[in-house]
Amino acid sequence: MDETVEVPQKDGSTKIVTKGEFLSSKLFQLAASGDLGAIKICLDNVDGPPTQTIGNPDGSALFPPRFDTAEGKAAILGSLTCGE
């Protein structure tokens, strides 16, 4: 963003900044005022977006393999019979 804009200052003068600087300063002003969307954008750009974790809090798999144990194998074989 090489284009520039003139930003009026409180003392009546103008300041020339790039469009990128202007947009980022406005975004951070919104975040500082409590705008949740702006806060999310700022944090995502600083820290990166949060990763989605798949698993249990203890670190075990969310969906453990069902048929690795003898009980799992018996359960699947029992469900295949006709109830005899």
Q: What is the pLDDT of residues 15-55, one digit of tens each?
A: 899 998 888 889 999 999 999 988 888 888 777 777 666 66
What integer pLDDT is reported at residue 63 of this predicted model?
66
Q: CA 18, 22, 25: angle at the middle one, nearest 5? A: 135
CA dist list (Å): 34 to 28, 29, 30, 40, 49: 10, 9, 7, 11, 19
Taking each helix axis from N to C end, the angle separating 19-32 and 36-47, rounded to the nearest 10 degrees, works out to 120
Put simply, whether the predicted model's pTM sits higher than 0.75 gets the answer: no
8 or 65, higher pLDDT:
8
